[in-house]
Chains A and B, each alone.
Chain A
Amino acid sequence: MIPLLEVVLLLVVLAAILVAVFRDPIVATALFAVFSLGVAIVWVLLAAPDVALTEAAVGAGVLVILLLIAAVKTGRDEADSSTRWRPSLDSVNLPALLVALAVGAPLSYTVGQFPALGDPTAASVSDVDPTGEPSPYAAYIGETAAAFDVPNAVALVLTVFRNFDTFGEVVVAFTAVVGVLIVLERATLTTTRANTHRDGSGGGLRFPDPYVMSPVGMTAVRLVVPLVFAFGVYLTVHGALTPGGGFQGGVVMGSSIVLMALVFGHAPTSDWLAERALVGALVGGLWLFLAIAVASIAFDGTLFEVAAYPLATIYLVDAIEVAIGLLVGGVVTALVVTTAAGVLRETREDSTADAVGGERP
C-alpha cells in the first residue's frame, strides 16, 4: 500500500521549492498552482473537504489568475527564453530564506507532537484531556451539531458559534476590494476606459491575447459557465448540509465570471456586468450579514447571537451563507476584473504610450 498522504506531501514540498527557484513569474505561478492543488488533495486526505474546496478554488484558481494578471501587467523579461526554464538559485532571497527557516523549524518540530491521524484519544476529540481531567471537546464535536440540527458542523461553527470572527473576515475581504478600487485607477467598477488595454498593452504581452476570441474557448465557456455558476449556488445554499458554504460557493460563482473574463476579454465582460448587481452583491452581502446579526437583539439575544431567533438555526445558517456567498462572489469578480482593467496611477502615462505604439508588428 502506497502511503498516499506522504507522496502528495512530497509533491507539495517539491512544488514549493520549484516555485522559489524559477525566476520567470509565469513559470513560478504555474508551479504555484501545482503546489496549491497538492495542498487541496492533502486536505481531502485529512478529511477536511471544506478547506480543500477553498484551497482548490482560491489557491489554485483565483489567486493564480490574479498572479498571472499581475505578472503580465507589470511586464517581464520574456526575451531570453533560454534561461526561462532553468532553475536558478539567484532568485532565492537569502534573508527571506532565513526567515522561512526560522519560522519553519519550530513549526516542523511541533509536527512530531501531533497525535496520529484518526487517533480517538487525541485531545481534540477525546472526553479526557492530556492531564486526565474531563474535557468538553468530545461533546462539543459530537453533540452540538446534532443539537442544532445542522449536519455540517463546520458551517455551524462559522455562522453561529464564531459568526463574529466570520463577519470580521468578510469585512476584510470587502476592504481588500475597496483598496484595489482605490489604488487602481478606475472611475467606476464596470465602465471601461476606451478599451485601451484589450490587446494586453498594459504590460509585457506583445501579441493580441490568444485566449481572447478563440471560438473553441468561447464555446467551451458557454457550455461550462452555467454549470459552474449553478454549482456555486448549490455549494452556497447547501453549505449547512454538506461540505461547502458561502466562501466556497462565492468563490466558485465568482470564478465562473472570471472564466468569461478570461475568454471574452475583461473589457467586454465588465461591460456586460451590471455595475448595480456587482455593487449590490458586495454591499448587500455585507448588510445582510450585519442585519441578521443586529436583528437578533429584537429576539432578546445579544449582538450576533443568531440562536436567539425563533426559527430553526439551520435557516439562519443558510441566510448567513447566502450573505457570505454574495459578498465573496462579488469580491472575486471585482478583484479580477478591476485588476485586469485597472492601471496604477503613476504608470498610467507609460502604459497609454505603450498602447499606442505597442501594436504587434
Chain B
Amino acid sequence: MSLLVWAIGLLAAGCVFFTFVGVVGLYRLPDVYTRAHAVTKADTLGAGFALLAAALAFGTTTAALKAILLFVIVFVANPTAVHLLVRSAYSRDRTVWVRDSTARGGER
C-alpha cells in the first residue's frame, strides 16, 4: 500500500478516535462545562481529521481545496460556538461541578 493510503487511513482513524472520545465525554461527564470541554476539542479534531483525510483522498482537485477550506472554517466556528454556549451557561449562573459536591460514582 502506498504512503498516501496509509496517511488517509491514519487520519480517518484519528477522526474516529477523537469523535468517539467526544461522544463518551458528552455521555459521561457531569455538567455543561466539562461536556463542552470534551465535545469541542474532540469534535473539532474529529471533523478536522475527517476533512483532511477527504482532502488527501481527493488529491489535487478543487474538491480537496474545498475540504481544506471547510477544515479552516470548522476550526474557527466549532470552538467559537461552544465558547459562546459555555459563556451563556455561565451568565445564567449554571453551577460548576466540583468533585466534593457529588458522591464518588454518583450522579452523572
Contact = CB atoms under 8 A, between A and B. Distances in A.
Contact of A217 (B80, B91, B92): B80
Interface string A210-234: 1100101100100110010000000
Contacts of A148: none
Given A210-B87, A214-B84, A214-B87, A220 B92 contact: no
B76 interface: yes
A27 to B, nearest CB: 14
B77 interface: yes
Tell me what chain A mostly uses at the interface: helix, strand, loop, or mixed: helix
Interface in B52-90: 73, 76-77, 79-80, 83-84, 87-88, 90
A223 B92 contact: no
Given A211-B84, A214-B83, A220 B91 contact: no
A198 to B, nearest CB: 15
Interface string B24-51: 0000000000000000000000000000
B83 A223 contact: no
A220 B82 CA distance: 12
A280 to B, nearest CB: 30
Nearest to A262: B84
Q: How large is the interface on B (under 10, 10 to 19, 20 to 34, 35 or more residues)?
A: 10 to 19
Contacts of A227: 73
Given A208-B91, A210-B88, A210-B91, A217 B83 contact: yes
Contacts of A208: 91
B83 A216 contact: yes
A80 to B, nearest CB: 14
Contacts of A216: 79-80, 83-84
A224 B76 CA distance: 8
Nearest to A206: B92
Contacts of A211: 84, 87-88
A220 B77 contact: yes
A210 B83 CA distance: 11
B77 A224 contact: yes
A216 B36 CA distance: 15
A207 interface: yes
Given A211-B87, A214-B87, 20 more contacts: A207-B91, A207-B92, A210-B84, A210-B88, A210-B91, A211-B88, A214-B83, A214-B84, A216-B79, A216-B80, A216-B83, A217-B80, A217-B83, A217-B84, A220-B76, A220-B80, A223-B76, A224-B73, A224-B77, A227-B73
11 contacts: A207-B91, A208-B91, A210-B87, A210-B88, A211-B87, A211-B88, A216-B84, A217-B80, A217-B84, A220-B77, A224-B73
Interface of B: 73, 76-77, 79-80, 83-84, 87-88, 90-92
